[in-house]
Amino acid sequence: MTARSSRPTFSLVFLTWNPGEAIVGVVESVKRQTFDDYEVVVVDNDSDDGTPERIRDAYGDDDSVRLFENDENRGFSRGMNRGIGESRGRYICCYNHDTLFPPEYLQVLSERVTPDAVWTTARRNYRVDPEWTYVRLLSEFRFTVPYVVDPLSGTAEVNYVPGDGTILPREIYRDELDSEVFDSSMPTRGEDVDLSLRLAEDGVPMRAVLDTHSIHPDKDDRYEPTIENFGTLLRTIAARIAAHSNNAVPRSTVLLSAASILTQPLHVYFAPYPRSPEAFVEATTVHRGGGPHSRDEPTPVEVS
Classify residue 119 as exposed, middle or buried by CB count within 10 Å of its CB (0-12, 13-18, 19+): buried
Grouping H, G, I as helix, E, B as strand and the rest as coil, residue 67 is strand
Residue 166 within any structural domain of the chain: yes
Residues forming a β-bridge with 193 = none
Question: Which residues on adjacent β-strands are paired with residue 11?
Answer: 39, 92
pLDDT at residue 299, as a whole number = 41
Q: For residue 202, which of 179, 231, 176, 240 has the smallest C-alpha distance?
A: 176
Percent of the chain with pLDDT over 70: 91
DSSP string, 20-53: TTHHHHHHHHHHT-S---EEEEEEE---SSSHHH
Is residue 263 domain-resident? no
**Inside any domain, residue 266:** no
205 vs 233, more confident:
205
pLDDT for position 293: 31
Q: How far apart are CA 221 and CA 226, in angstroms?
A: 10
Identity of the amino acid at 274 = P
Domain with residue 101: its CATH number is: 3.90.550.10
> Is 51 a domain residue?
yes
Would you place residue 237 in the very low, low, confident or very high pLDDT band (cuts 50, 70, 90)?
Answer: very high
pLDDT band at 5 (very low <50, low <70, confident <90, very high): low
Q: pTM, whole model, 2 decimals?
A: 0.90
* Total domains present in the chain: 1
What does the alpha-carbon distance between residue 171 and residue 190 come to, in Å, rounded to a whole number?
Answer: 24
pLDDT at 222 over 80: no
Parent domain of 188? 10-221+274-294
Contact 108, 212 (CB under 8 A): yes
DSSP 132-161: S-EEEEE-TTSSEEEEE-TT--SEEE-S--
Q: What does the alpha-carbon distance between residue 236 and residue 121 come to, in Å, rounded to a whole number?
A: 23
- pLDDT by residue (tens digit) across 62-109? 999 999 999 999 999 999 999 999 999 999 999 999 999 999 999 999
Banded pLDDT at 224 (limits 50, 70, 90): confident
pLDDT at 300: 38
Q: Answer yes or no: is 247 within a domain.
A: no
Which of 198, 160, 204 lies closest to 181 in space, CA to CA? 198
Please report whether residue 258 resides in a domain: no
Phi, psi of 95 (to 5 degrees): -145, 155
**Would residue 24 count as lying in a domain?**
yes
Asked if residue 227 is part of any domain, the answer here is no
- Which has more pLDDT, 300 or 65? 65
